[in-house]
Amino acid sequence: MPYTNNYKPPVTDVETNCHLATKPEDYDFNFMFDVKPLRSDRVELRPFVPSLHAQPLLEGVQANPEIVHWLGLPDDWKSVDDVCRWCELTGRSNPGMLRMAIYSAPLDRLDAPVDDYVFAGTASYLESNYDNMMSEIGWICILKPFQRTHVNTHMVGLMMHQILDLPEDGGWGLRRCQWKANSLNKPSHAAAQRMGFTYEGTLRAFVVLPPNREGAAKGRPGVRGENRMQRDTWMASTTWQEWEGGVRKHVDKLMARR
């Protein structure tokens, strides 16, 4: 008998400079949890709005394209339109994903007021799942001048608090906060474990990488994407039990270091 299958591939193109002119108050994040800025005494995370943040992200990646070596971000952006397209196709169209813009106190004035904070990169909530009460911290892109500073610690700490704190404390009250990385990306593994994440295992052949990205093995000969390497994925997580059992205090202690 005949079978009906009306599947259509996802839309892979959007209008030129998509949402570049959309005002921040009119930009629809299309995210399943509440959207708000988060702040420590040195870092503020602001929901990523293309009209505000696409240009500084483009400039940061163009200046140091190596900062996206381990990420799924393109390293060949030519214009702000490329960034806007990427934001729309990988972010706003997915209700389980929310990108945040990282702002930091200037490195020479760490006590500066928040109005003087400067753009330091992006990070995202990924794989968010309302029913299974989980979210992931990932696609971390810290601009070169802010690497090996307070920025990563404060950014990850703020996002962990948002995911795992109870609603009455301002969080989403989820049960699992996870972290995935390329199995070859040792600095990412170390960063996660430093923040209290527990290594769970390696997921083999988990991702087909973009061209010119480093992976664990070559693509499968004779089929589509054979020139793109495959990534084994290093997986770690923090559960709500671990968070309440000591990880939250550990994170707060790291964020309080001077």
Print the SS3 string covering the chain: CCCCCCCCCCCCCCCCCCCCCCCHHHCCCCCCCCCCCEECCCEEEEECCHHHHHHHHHHHHHHCHHHHCCCCCCCCCCCHHHHHHHHHHHHHCCCCCEEEEEEECCCCCCCCCHHHCEEEEEEEEEEEECCCCEEEEEEEEECHHHCCCCHHHHHHHHHHHHHHCCHHHCCCCCCEEEEEEECCCHHHHHHHHHCCCEEEEEEEEEEECCCCCCCCECCCCCCCCCCCCEEEEEEEEEEHHHHHHHHHHHHHHHHHCC
The yes-or-no verdict on residue 9 having pLDDT over 90 is no
Interval 223-250: pLDDT, tens: 999 999 999 999 999 999 999 999 999 9
The yes-or-no verdict on residue 17 having pLDDT over 90 is no
Q: What is the pLDDT of residue 204?
A: 98
**Four-point Cα dihedral 152, 157, 159, 162, nearest 10:** -170
**Four-point Cα dihedral 19, 25, 26, 29, nearest 10:** 70
Interval 105-152: pLDDT, tens: 999 999 999 999 999 999 999 999 999 999 999 999 999 999 999 999
What whole-number distance in Å separates Cα of residue 199 and Cα of residue 178?
10
What whole-number distance in Å separates Cα of residue 35 and Cα of residue 119?
19
The yes-or-no verdict on residue 8 having pLDDT over 80 is yes
Looking at per-residue pLDDT, the higher value among 90 and 191 belongs to 191
> How many C-beta atoms surround the C-beta of residue 64 within 10 A?
13
Interval 168-220: pLDDT, tens: 999 999 999 999 999 999 999 999 999 999 999 999 999 999 888 899 999 99
Interval 151-167: pLDDT, tens: 999 999 999 999 999 99
The yes-or-no verdict on residue 73 having pLDDT over 80 is no
Per-residue confidence at 86, pLDDT binned at 50, 70, 90?
confident
Q: Does domain 24-256 have CATH number 1.10.1500.10?
A: no
